[in-house]
C-alpha cells in the first residue's frame, strides 16, 4: 500500500510479504520498508514473532521490536492451516517479493514453494534465508546465526590466543545474511525490469559470514597456514591494536598506512622507528609487530585517553575507543549525522532508535513508526484482498486469524 509518506521513496509501490521471524529475514524486510516498500509481516495468531519477547521487555514488548519491525504491517495468520496457506497465495499473487527464513522444504510442504507461487505470479522474487542454504548435505539441519558464524570461520578467530573463542555481542551472522538478502532482492528487481521474470535468492547464514573472511582461505590454500585468534590485534596489518592508557582505559590505534606509521612514531617519540627502512611498508612492520606494539603501549600508558586521542587527531592518525551505548547516545557526530532518532510510542513516550542507512541524497529512507501490535493490520489487509465479513468471522472462530 503506497501512502503519501512513501510515494517519493525509491521502493514505493513494492509489495513485500514477510514469512520469516526473529532476525535474518525480518531485518532484510526492515531495510526494504525503510525505503518505501509495503511490508506485510505474517505472524502466528496469539504469540506472534518470538522476537517480541527477546532482550529487554517494556510494557509487554521487546524494545528491539521497535527497531526490527518499524514500517511493517502485521497480519496474524496461521500458516499451518489450509485456509491460512490460501490467504498467503492470494497475497503472493500480486506481490513483488516474498522473504522467508524457515527451514528448507517447509514452504513446499505447505504448498507455498517458489514453483507453486511463481506459477500464478511469474514476476515474484522469493528470498530464502536459511542456516545452510537450499541445497547440499547440511540443507535440513537447523541453523541459527551463531552456528553460521562458527562454520563461516568467524568464531574461531575471536578471543585471545589459547583461550575459548567468544562471540560477537550482536547477531552478526543474521545481519550479514539480511544484507545479502537485500542485495539479492535489488539485483533480482533489476533483472526483472529487463526480463519480466522473478527468481529465487538463496542466502545461507554460514556463507554470508564466510564471504567476510578476507584472505582466510587463499592463505590456507597457498601455504597451509591456519589463521589463529589474535585478540585485539589485526594479524598481518601493523600496527592496528588496542593499547592501555594511564587510566586503565583502552584506545584503538590504526597506524598501518606507511605515511601514517611515520606520523604515529613521531607522536610517540620514536623517530628511529619512523625512519627505519625495514618498517617503511606493512610486510616489514608485521615481522616486527611485537616491537612496534610495545613501543606504542609504552607511550600510551603514560597518558590519559582524551590526551592520546587529541594528540593522534592532530597528527591525523586514526584512533578511537570502544563506545558504549551511552557514548553513542550522546556523541555529537552521531547526532549531527541523524543516526540517533526518536519516535513516539503508542503511550506517547519517545524512544531513541538507530537512524536509517544508507543515506540517499534525493530519496532518503524513513524512520516511520515502531513495531506494530500483533495483527494490527489484519483487517486492513483482508479488506485489500476482498475477504468478506462472513469469511473473516469463520477464520476468527477457527483461530486462523
Name the residue ranges covered by the structural domains of the chain: 15-211+339-397, 240-320
**Residue 167: pLDDT over 90:** no
Mean pLDDT of the chain: 94
pLDDT value of residue 389: 94
Confidence of residue 332 (pLDDT cuts 50, 70, 90): very high
Q: Which fold has domain 240-320?
A: formyl-coa transferase, domain 3 (3.30.1540)
Q: pTM for the whole thing?
A: 0.92
pLDDT value of residue 271: 96
**Residue 6: pLDDT over 80:** no
Q: Any catalytic annotation for residue 86?
A: no
**Residue 2: pLDDT over 90:** no
Confidence of residue 234 (pLDDT cuts 50, 70, 90): confident
- In this predicted model, what pLDDT tens digit does every residue of 259-290 receive, in sequence order? 999 999 999 999 999 999 999 999 999 999 99
Separation between Cα atoms, residue 57 and residue 45, nearest integer Å: 20
User: Which residue carries 597506524 as its cell?
Assistant: 255
Separation between Cα atoms, residue 16 and residue 32, nearest integer Å: 8
- Which of 49, 78, 96, 174 is catalytic? The answer is 174
Q: Which fold has domain 15-211+339-397?
A: Rossmann fold (3.40.50)
pLDDT value of residue 151: 94
pLDDT value of residue 4: 61
The residue among 15 and 162 whose pLDDT is bigger is 15
Separation between Cα atoms, residue 28 and residue 69, nearest integer Å: 10
- 236-258: average pLDDT: 95
- In this predicted model, what pLDDT tens digit does every residue of 345-369 receive, in sequence order? 878 889 999 999 999 999 999 998 8
Amino acid at each position: 500500500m503506497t501512502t503519501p509518506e512513501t510515494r517519493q521513496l525509491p521502493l514505493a509501490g513494492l509489495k513485500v510479504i514477510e514469512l520469516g521471524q526473529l532476525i535474518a529475514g525480518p531485518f532484510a524486510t526492515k531495510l526494504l520498508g525503510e525505503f518505501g516498500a509495503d511490508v506485510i509481516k505474517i505472524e502466528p495468531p496469539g504469540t506472534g514473532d518470538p522476537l517480541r519477547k527477546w532482550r529487554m521487555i517494556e510494557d509487554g514488548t521487546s524494545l528491539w521490536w521497535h527497531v526490527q519491525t518499524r514500517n511493517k504491517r502485521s497480519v496474524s495468520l496461521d500458516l499451518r492451516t489450509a485456509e491460512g496457506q490460501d490467504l498467503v497465495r492470494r497475497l503472493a499473487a500480486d506481490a513483488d517479493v516474498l522473504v522467508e527464513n524457515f527451514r528448507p522444504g517447509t514452504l513446499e510442504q505447505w504448498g507455498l514453494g517458489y514453483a507453486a507461487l511463481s506459477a500464478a505470479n511469474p514476476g515474484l522474487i522469493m528470498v530464502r534465508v536459511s542456516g545452510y542454504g537450499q541445497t547440499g548435505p547440511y540443507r535440513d539441519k537447523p541453523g541459527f546465526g551463531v552456528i553460521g558464524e562458527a562454520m563461516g570461520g568467524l568464531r574461531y578467530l575471536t578471543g585471545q590466543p589459547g583461550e575459548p573463542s567468544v562471540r560477537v555481542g550482536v547477531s552478526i551472522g543474521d545481519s550479514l545474511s539480511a544484507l545479502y538478502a537485500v542485495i539479492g532482492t535489488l539485483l533480482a528487481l533489476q533483472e526483472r525490469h529487463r526480463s519480466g521474470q522473478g527468481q529465487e535468492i538463496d542466502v545461507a547464514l554460514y556463507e554470508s559470514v564466510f564471504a567476510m573472511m578476507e584472505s582466510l582461505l587463499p592463505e590456507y590454500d597457498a601455504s597451509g597456514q591456519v589463521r589463529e585468534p589474535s585478540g585485539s590485534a589485526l594479524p598481518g596489518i601493523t600496527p592496528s591494536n588496542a593499547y592501555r592508557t594511564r587510566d586503565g582505559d583502552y584506545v584503538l590505534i590504526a597506524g598501518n598506512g606507511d605515511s601514517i606509521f611515520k606520523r604515529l612514531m613521531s607522536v610517540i617519540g620514536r623517530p628511529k622507528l619512523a625512519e627505519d627502512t625495514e618498517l617503511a611498508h606493512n610486510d616489514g612492520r608485521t615481522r616486527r609487530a611485537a616491537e612496534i606494539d610495545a613501543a606504542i603501549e609504552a607511550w600510551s600508558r603514560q597518558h590519559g585517553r582524551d590526551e592520546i586521542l587529541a594528540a593522534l587527531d592532530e597528527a591525523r592518525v586514526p584512533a578511537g575507543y570502544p563506545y558504549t551505548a551511552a557514548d553513542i547516545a550522546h556523541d555529537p557526530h552521531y547526532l549531527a549525522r541523524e543516526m540517533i532518532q526518536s519516535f513516539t510510542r503508542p503511550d506517547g513516550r519517545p524512544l531513541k532508535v538507530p537512524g536509517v542507512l544508507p543515506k540517499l541524497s534525493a530519496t532518503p529512507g524513513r524512520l516511520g513508526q515502531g513495531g506494530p501490535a500483533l495483527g494490527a493490520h489484519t483487517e486492513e489487509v483482508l479488506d485489500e484482498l476482498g475477504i468478506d465479513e462472513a469469511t473473516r468471522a469463520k477464520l476468527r472462530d477457527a483461530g486462523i486469524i
